[in-house]
Homo-oligomer: A and B are copies of this chain.
Amino acid sequence: MMTESEFLAALRTLPLHNGARGLNDDCALIKVGEETLIFNHEVMAEGTHFRPEADLADVAWKLVAINLSDLASKGAEPIGILLGHSLGGNDQRFIDGLREVLNAYNVPLMGGDTVAATGASTYSLTAIGRATSHSIPSRTEAKLGDSVFVTGTLGEAMLGFEGFEAHLRAFNRPTPRLEEGAALAPVVGAMMDVSDGLLLDAFRMAEASNVSIALETAAIPVADPERRDECIRWGDDYELLFTLPQGTKPPVQAALIGTIEPRGFVPMFVDSAPVTNPEGLGYQHG
């Protein structure tokens, strides 16, 4: 058995499509004539990504939403989805949640596969989108002097996971930032969604862009200021993290939380303290 990063390293030795961006990005791209199609594939497994007692309507919603969140980070508009479904749970609830999320974001089902699997359920989804902007953001374009922004409030999903009524929706039914992503794509430097926790994903952006990100934690909007540190490490918030040239006002509601500095000896500073490695920064997804 390999770890996820060993497996990813092995995948990088295979023949890769140019649009895979070296498997360093969240989505794959295919140029077709004047258009660029954007692809994302995510899997949710019982026991790893959702609790066995979870309402499958929420799981279906979240499966679609997390894929659309990746499309949002490219400024893409969704075209459709392909679903891989394991029968055996409350399949009617899964259908109910799927209907709600497809209607909410006006995304049609295109096809897929249904299997009678044994044991824990696994659901896979491919989301297909169309770039709305000529420039398609990546993690690699953060530039010296840029300002760093994030949409929304971090930590809501954490509080929802813990059972706080007001935040249940943030955990169970996240909102992909499709409109924000489309508005930002033409103007941002780097952009990504922050599914694994703000600190960890900011660290990854800095690494990919070969810069250093200096964050001011007091500037980060959090759901519970007394637990600020947890809010910015816990994942599942599906907000957009992006950079703009200094002084540029973002076209969407977002908080200025830091700046891009030269790559010195570390890729990140949190309140001026250097961060040398990503261990413990956030949620390293299985």
Contacts and interface: CB of A to CB of B under 8 A. Distances in A.
A89 interface: yes
Copies of this chain in the oligomer? 2
13 contacts: A6-B91, A7-B87, A13-B95, A14-B95, A27-B111, A28-B111, A33-B33, A33-B34, A44-B115, A48-B116, A84-B84, A115-B122, A116-B286
Interface of A: 1-4, 6-8, 10-11, 13-17, 19-20, 23, 25, 27-28, 30, 32-35, 37, 39-49, 79-80, 82-92, 95, 98-99, 102-103, 106-120, 122, 124, 126, 128, 285-286
Interface-central residue, A2, A99, A124, by most chain B CB under 10 Å = A124
Contacts of A11: 83, 95, 109, 112
Given A113-B42, A117-B286, A79 B30 contact: yes
Contacts of A128: 30, 39
A56 B217 CA distance: 46
Nearest 4 A-B pairs (CB), nearest first?
A116-B286, A124-B124, A119-B119, A33-B33
A23 B98 contact: no
Contact of A111 (B3, B10, B20, B112): B20
Nearest to A44: B115
A42 to B, nearest CB: 5
B43 A115 contact: yes
Contacts of A13: 95, 99
B110 A80 contact: no
A91 to B, nearest CB: 4
Contacts of A27: 111
Contacts of A118: 45-48, 120
